[in-house]
Amino acid sequence: MSANHDLVYKEMFGHPQMVRDLLAGFTDLSCFRNLPPSAFERVNASYVSDQFIERHGDMVWKVKIGTGLIFVYFLLEFQSRSERWMALRMQVYIGLLYQDLVKRGALENAGRLPPVFPVVFYNGRSPWTATDELRALVAQGPDELASYQANQRYLLIDQNRIDPALLANARDLVSIMFKVELSDSPNV
């Protein structure tokens, strides 16, 4: 994604309504449907590791789900080209998020780490070719080691391969944005 396009997406998805519409309309997860925009709170996506290395994710939202005050952290990464190591990068971002929450004493739910939903938003012209699963990047070892291997996954939302029928009658802000960006005509 060009720097300008990346900034536009960061600005657009900096609004709770846009994030809600993306999750409700473009994932199969029912837990994000019918949430009000007030359930979404943007949180810091920049971290300093224990070795004082600074890392920046694109966007992180804390989402309040249900009456039991369960918070799900939603990690959104913008990409314009396929990134072979994206599953590893997402695992690193999630690890840094967890370290940051522990360091700041910001854990809810009886001091347990919150669930995280990592999403890659891709708008490249070529099909995404990277695996969405970290385990696929790890060499095969002895079977008895398999259960000890990390297996971070992420959801890919590929803007250029969204079924047009899904967008046809949709009226939410994200669908309208997709229709405009995917249109060959100025009369969307």
Q: How confident is the model at residue 4 (pLDDT cuts 50, 70, 90)?
A: low
Would you kindly state where each structural domain of the chain is located, as residue ranges? 3-138+148-182
Q: Summarize pLDDT for 73-124 with one digit per residue, the tens.
A: 777 888 889 999 999 999 988 888 888 889 888 888 778 898 888 999 898 8
d(CA 43, CA 60): 6
CA dihedral sign of residues 134, 136, 140, 143: positive
Q: How confident is the model at residue 1 (pLDDT cuts 50, 70, 90)?
A: very low
- Map residue 156 onto helix, strand or coil: strand
Q: Residue 68 corresponds to which amino acid? A: G
Q: Summarize pLDDT for 134-186 with one digit per residue, the tens.
A: 999 999 999 999 899 988 899 999 988 888 888 887 778 888 888 777 776 55
pLDDT of 84 reads 96
- The tokens describing 99, both together, are 């370290």
d(CA 28, CA 9): 22
CA 57 from chain centre, in angstroms, equals 10
CB within 8 Å of 46: residues ≥ 6 apart: 54, 55, 56, 57
* Beta bridge mates, 174: none
